[in-house]
Structures are given as structure tokens and as C-alpha cells.
């Protein structure tokens, strides 16, 4: 991915925060001369900051577990909100006319080697961590895995495969009008703010926190 320097994000805290806020990753792999992408909610394990990992799981019937081998290099993409930017948002349109449309978005790219894990103890722990991380944020009365009958969850645990990606490279491309003069930047924030399109107001919010 080509990243102009003004959009490039390398601060690990910012990148980890982004993944935690946008955990549905696009896992891209290449095998048998074919590009494949699988959409997986990831848990970011930052227990050891020298060995940060993405952890997830897929159904055993998902062919990815056979097409991919331990050690295969994969790319995982995390997406923030995105929006079309009209030249009408820029005050400088009325001054010079030298404006064109663009698109604002933010993504984080992670590269690393994948490994699969079939141990039910690992999978159980992973599912607990993943569940608790989301329940604690979104639910006033958090559901816990122990709320379901053990026989039922055991059956489901046996139907999935764990996977882990040791992060070797991580970079963000936060393309959010940082290349624009302040007046035009603020014009974009205003232009998107009251949009009926929820993604557009999310980008506006993000831009207010970004500068």
C-alpha cells in the first residue's frame, strides 16, 4: 500500500486502539494461485508488547484451515469509516476554484505468519477473552460463556479452529484531509458532521479527534 507521509501512522498505541475499535479484520491469504479473503473478528493480544498477536477462530468446515498452512504469510486489514469528500466542503473552492473530490478513510494493515490451533483449551480461553472484551463494552449486564450449557458450548468449541497471527509489520493509512489547509479541513468536518449518512458523521468525529 502506497502511503503519503501525511497519512502514515506508525504509533503502536494508535494502531492497537484502532484494531480494538474496528476488530472485524479481512484476513487475506494466497494459495493455489488464488487470492482469498476471510472476515474474522480478531482479539488483539498485547500481553507481551514484544510479541503482539491477532487471535481469531474459523469454522472447521471453512476450507481456509486446509488451504493455509502454519507459517504462511498473510495480510490482515482493519477498516474505519469512510466518506466521499465533495469540493463543496472546501472554503477555498470559492477563492481559487482549485479543488477536486477525494475519499477519506482509515485502514490498518498487519502482516505476519498465521498458525492454527486445534486445542480446545486454547480455543475456550480465546473465546472467553473475545467475548468478555465485547460484552464489557456494549452490555450493561454482560453475557458470559458460562451462562450457556457446557454441553452446548463444548460442541461449538469442537466445531472451530483457533488461529493466531504474530504481528511482524503494522502500519496505518489514515487519509483524513491532513494534507489540506486548516480552513478546508474544518470545512470537511462541518460538511460531514450533520450528514444523514452515519459513516460520514463517523468520519467527521474521527477527524475532530485526529487533529
> What is the C-alpha separation between 175 and 22, in angstroms, rounded?
16
Interface with a second copy, residue 92, by CB under 8 A = no
Which residues lie closer than 8 Å to 140 by C-beta, 6 or more apart? none
Q: How far is the CB of 49 from a second copy (least distance, A)?
A: 25
SS (H, E, C) 44-60: EECCCCCCCEEEEEEEC
Where would I find the beta strands (DSSP E) of 80-203? Answer: 83-85, 102-117, 160-175
Listed ranges 11-19, 25-33, 47-55, 177-185: which one lies at the site for a second copy (CB under 8 A):
25-33
79 binds a second copy per the rule CB under 8 A: yes
Tell me the H-state helices in the chain: 12-21, 64-67, 120-138, 150-158, 182-193, 198-210
Binding mask 162-201 toward a second copy (x if CB under 8 A, else -) reads -----------x---------------------x-xxx-x
**Among residues 97, 182, 194, 209, the one that binds a second copy under rule CB under 8 A:** 97
Measure the CA–CA gap between 98 and 160, rounded to whole angstroms. 54
Instruction: Supply the minimum distance, in Å, between the C-beta of residue 117 and a second copy.
Output: 18
Task: Confirm or reject binding of residue 159 to a second copy (CB under 8 A).
Answer: no
User: CB-wise, 48 or 97, nearer to a second copy?
Assistant: 97
Helix (H) or strand (E) holding 38: strand 34-41
63 binds a second copy (CB under 8 A): yes
Q: Rg of the Cα trace of the chain?
A: 20
8 A C-beta contact, residue 177 and residue 188: yes
- Work out which of 73, 119, 190, 211 binds a second copy, going by CB under 8 A: 73
Q: Taking Cα atoms as reference points, which of 106, 129, 111 lies closest to residue 28?
A: 111
Binding region for a second copy (CB under 8 A):
1-2, 24, 26, 28-30, 34-39, 41, 58-59, 61-64, 73-75, 77, 79, 81-82, 84, 86-88, 93, 97-101, 103, 105, 107, 109, 130-131, 134-135, 138-139, 141, 143, 145, 147-149, 152-153, 156, 173, 195, 197-199, 201-202
Amino acid at each position: 500500500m502506497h502511503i503519503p507521509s501525511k497519512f502514515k501512522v506508525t504509533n503502536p498505541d494508535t494502531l492497537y486502539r484502532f484494531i480494538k475499535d474496528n476488530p472485524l479484520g479481512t484476513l487475506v491469504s494466497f494459495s493455489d494461485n488464488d487470492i482469498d479473503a476471510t472476515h474474522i473478528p480478531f482479539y488483539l493480544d498485547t500481553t507481551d508488547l514484544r510479541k503482539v498477536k491477532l487471535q481469531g477462530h474459523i469454522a472447521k468446515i471453512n476450507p481456509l484451515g486446509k488451504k493455509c498452512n502454519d507459517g504462511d504469510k498473510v495480510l490482515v486489514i482493519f477498516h474505519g469509516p469512510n466518506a466521499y469528500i465533495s469540493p463543496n466542503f472546501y472554503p477555498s473552492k470559492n477563492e481559487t476554484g482549485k479543488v477536486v473530490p477525494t475519499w477519506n478513510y482509515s485502514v490498518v494493515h498487519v502482516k505476519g505468519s498465521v498458525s492454527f490451533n486445534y486445542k480446545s483449551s486454547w480455543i475456550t480461553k480465546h473465546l472467553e477473552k473475545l467475548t468478555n472484551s465485547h460484552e464489557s463494552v456494549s452490555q450493561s449486564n454482560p453475557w458470559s460463556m458460562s451462562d450457556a450449557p457446557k454441553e452446548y458450548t463444548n460442541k461449538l468449541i469442537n466445531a472451530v479452529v483457533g488461529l493466531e497471527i504474530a504481528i511482524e509489520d503494522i502500519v496505518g493509512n489514515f487519509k483524513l484531509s491532513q494534507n489540506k489547509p486548516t480552513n478546508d479541513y474544518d470545512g470537511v468536518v462541518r460538511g460531514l458532521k450533520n450528514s444523514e449518512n452515519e459513516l460520514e458523521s463517523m468520519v467527521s468525529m474521527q477527524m475532530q479527534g485526529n487533529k
